[in-house]
Every structure is written in structure tokens, then in C-alpha cells.
Amino acid sequence: MCDNFPVELAAAAGMLPFRLDGDPAAPAPHVQRYIGPDRNPLIRVPAFADAMLEAVVSGDYGFIDYLVVPHGRKAIEASYELLTRARAAGAPIDDVRLFYLDKSYLPGFSSSVFDRECVLALKAQLEEWSRAPVTDPALAEAIEQANRGRTLLARVNRLRISESPRLSGADAVRLYSLAGAMTRPAHNAMSEALLAEASEMPARSGPRIYLSGTPQPTPALYELVESLGTTVVGEDHCWGARTAGCPTPVRPSPLEGLAERYHEVPVCSIEFPLQQAVDRWQARVRVTRPDGVIVYVAEDDELHIWDAPDRLGRMAADGVPALHLARQPPELDREDLRETIDAWLAELSR
């Protein structure tokens, strides 16, 4: 349910790690029926989180055998208990077995020990589910494939951030997201095929835009922004270019390298202190050399409500125009949203 998951362990266990997604703009009637009545009213849930749950409790993703709920956003973390109650309420998920993957976000040695234990617990659970041990050779191979995939996606990303971009943001985020829906060797082959055709792609013109804020599991927002003559050259959410970052370090034991990455890589922009997360974000934005930044925050996204002001302040200090789209409803096909972005882009060109 998040990128806070060591996919290499699942691959080494002979399973297909599949990352849940869904359309935030689509209705979620099964969530309202099976989950809504038991919700904690103090936890605000963005539509993209409900879209993932809808795919499960509706039975549309009936191919899922096991579901790992990671420690991340409160709205995601709470899904473990909610799905348990949904099963009791009659949701068609009797055959789906759940596991809660914990994590400490604090720096320091004690937190690294705790996170290592969490990875070991996940390994034990995967071995129980698959009825076979996760061997070091299998894990080393899975890590090698995942690291190769991250390297290839970093090369793909350079097609967007070059002086003359050759890849749209919408197409890039489609490729990134597919990494969570197919085997890594197959996805690597897809990336290699795209890179082989890079020289034949026409250069794109128009303003360079960086998207920030709420995760975008579909390319809908990208398509809207790029339909106005722009190119989205970067983003900071967990469905985008972040999939190309932070390879697993090579260690004598592949499991130790995986545990180290699990501890050190921040997810969902959760990092302490907040200043450090904003510093990292600002550095990523600068690499893309945008003409403008859109900070898009969906309604009920309690995480990015807090850091949006700091991000806007950093862009003002860098002299980069920024558009703050706060508390946005899930529906993107809205004339008022298009007009707002179009008017801002017109100001950029003056």
C-alpha cells in the first residue's frame, strides 16, 4: 500500500510484489459500506488512499493473496484494522491475509535495530506464506534486478530534465508506476526499449513545471498541466521519479543491505526533522531547473497541508514562481482548475 516496502524480499520469495493503486476521482461505494462506519473521525483520509482500499474490498483485485500494510501515513496505517473489520462486515476479502509492517522514522542506532527486526519479521512471514526459505542467492538476484531498474529509470528521468525534454511527465509517471505492477526483469526490458528510442523522440517546448504535494497514482493531473503547453519535468511523490532513487547498498549479506535501505530511505516525505525533508525537496527541484512549481494538495491530505508553506517559501527564496492549489477535491476535470493553472502559466510567459 506504499513504497515503504522492500519489494526485493517478496520477489526472492517467488511472489509478485504488486503495489495497490486506484483512481482518486472514482466513487468508492464499497469503502463507504464496509469501512466508513468504523473510521476514526480524527484521521483524515485523502481520496487516493480510499481508491486503494476500494480496489480491495470491492473484489476487483481478486488476484491478491496477501496484503502488507506499512507504517506510513496515518490513513494508510489505519487500513490494517479497518480491513480486519471490513472482513467481519462481509467484504469479499476472506482469502486475503494481512501483515502489518512497522518502521521507526527516528534517526539513530536504536531505530536502525528496530527497522532491521521489522524486515526480519517480514521475511519470516513471506517464508511462511510461500512455504519456502528466502535464500541469500535469490535475494541477491532480486536486489540486483531492482537496482538495475532504478538505474534505468534514472536514465529515463534524464530525458525529462534535459535542456530540451524528450519525454512527457504523463508518460514518465506511467512507466514509473508500472514498476509496481510487473516483474522487475520485464519492467527493466520496457525501460531499455524506451531508452533505445530516445534519440528519435522530438524535443518538447513550453514551460518546465515541477509538480509537488499529494501523490498522483494516475497521470490525470500531468495530462491536464501538459495539455496547456507545458512539460512536467519532475515531482516528489511516491509514484514518480522517486522510484529511480536510493539503490540497495551492496553488503556481504544481502539482507543487511536491504535492512539498511529500509531504515535510511524516507517515505511519504516523512522525515525528522521536517527541515531536512524540505532541504531534500528543494535540492530535487533545483536539479530539474523548472520555470514554475505547482504545489497541489488534495483535501484531507494532512501531511502536505503542513509542509506546503515551507515549500512555497523556499521557491520564493529561489525566485521560482509557485502556484499553491490547496484542499483540492478529487475530480480534476474541472473548468475552474484548468482556468486557474492556465492563468498562472500566462503570467509565467510575461
Is position 222 within any domain? Answer: yes
Biggest CA-to-CA distance, the chain: 64
Mark which of 105, 126, 147 sits at the end of a domain. Answer: 126
Domain that holds residue 257: 136-348
Q: In terms of domains, do 122 and 260 share one?
A: no
Residue 330, domain member (yes or no):
yes
2 domain-assigned:
no
- Whether the bond into 273 is cis, omega within 30 of 0: yes
- Measure the CA–CA gap between 322 and 208, rounded to whole angstroms: 12
- Domain's final residue, options 126, 153, 185: 126
So what's the pLDDT on residue 242?
87
Domain end, chosen from 92, 126, 160, is at 126
Compute the distance between CA of residue 232 and CA of residue 286 in angstroms, rounded to an integer: 14
Q: Helix 302-318 and helix 274-288: axis angle, to 10°?
A: 50
Encode pLDDT of 264-304 as tens digits. Answer: 987 666 777 778 889 989 999 999 999 999 999 999 998 88
Q: What is the grid cell recorded at 304?
A: 502536505
Asked, for residue 68, whether it belongs to a domain, the answer is yes
Q: Which of 63-77, 175-189, 231-245 has the highest mean pLDDT?
A: 175-189
**CATH code of the domain covering residue 31:** 3.40.50.11890
Q: Are residues 176 and 81 in the same domain?
A: no
The candidate with the shortest Cα–Cα distance to 38, out of 4, 2, 74, 88, is 88
Q: What digits encode the pLDDT tens for the residues 215-274?
A: 999 999 999 999 999 999 999 998 999 888 889 999 999 999 999 999 998 766 677 777
Number of domain units in the chain? 2
* β-pairing verdict for 208-213 and 66-70: unpaired
Do 145 and 118 sit in the same domain of this protein? Answer: no
The verdict on 206 and 227 lying in the same domain is yes
All 3 cell numbers of residue 95? Answer: 482469502
Asked whether residue 298 is domain-assigned, the answer is yes
CA distance 221 to 217: 10
Do 195 and 60 have their domain in common?
A: no
Asked if residue 113 has pLDDT above 70, the reply is: yes
The percent of residues in the chain predicted with pLDDT above 90, rounded, is: 84
Same domain membership, residue 307 and residue 168: yes
Check residue 296 and give its pLDDT: 97
pLDDT at 269: 63
Same domain, 111 and 179: no
CB atoms within 10 A of CB 108: 10
Same domain, 72 and 147: no
d(CA 5, CA 267): 10
**The pLDDT of residue 304:** 87
* Residue 150 φ then ψ, to 5°: -65, -35
Reduce the secondary structure of the chain to three states and give it as a string. CCCCCCHHHHHHCCCCCCCCCCCCCCCCHHHHHHCHHHCCCCCCCCHHHHHHHHHHHCCCCCCCCEEEEECCCHHHHCHHHHHHHHHHCCCCCCCCEEEEECCCCCCCHHHHHHHHHHHHHHHHHHHHHHCCCCCHHHHHHHHHHHHHHHHHHHHHHHHHHCCCCCCCHHHHHHHHHHCCCCCHHHHHHHHHHHHHCHHHCCCCCCCEEEEEECCCCCCHHHHHHHCCCCEEEEECCCCCHHHHCCCCCCCCCHHHHHHHHHHHCCECCECCCHHHHHHHHHHHHHHHCCCEEEEEEECCCHHHHHHHHHHHHHHHHHCCCEEEEEEECCCCCCHHHHHHHHHHHHHHCC
Indicate if 313 and 171 belong to the same structural domain: yes
Nearest Cα neighbor of 180 from 49, 4, 64, 20 is 20
Please tell me the predicted confidence (pLDDT) of residue 310. Answer: 94
Residue 157 resides in a domain: yes
CATH of the domain at 207: 3.40.50.11900
- Do 196 and 283 belong to one domain? yes
Q: What is the pLDDT of residue 276?
A: 86
Same domain, 171 and 265: yes
Percent of the chain with pLDDT over 70: 99
Whether 131 maps to a domain, the answer reads no
The verdict on residue 179 lying in a domain is yes
- CA gyration radius for the chain? 20
235 with 333, same domain: the answer is yes
Quick: pLDDT tens for 121-155: 999 999 999 999 999 999 999 999 999 999 999 99
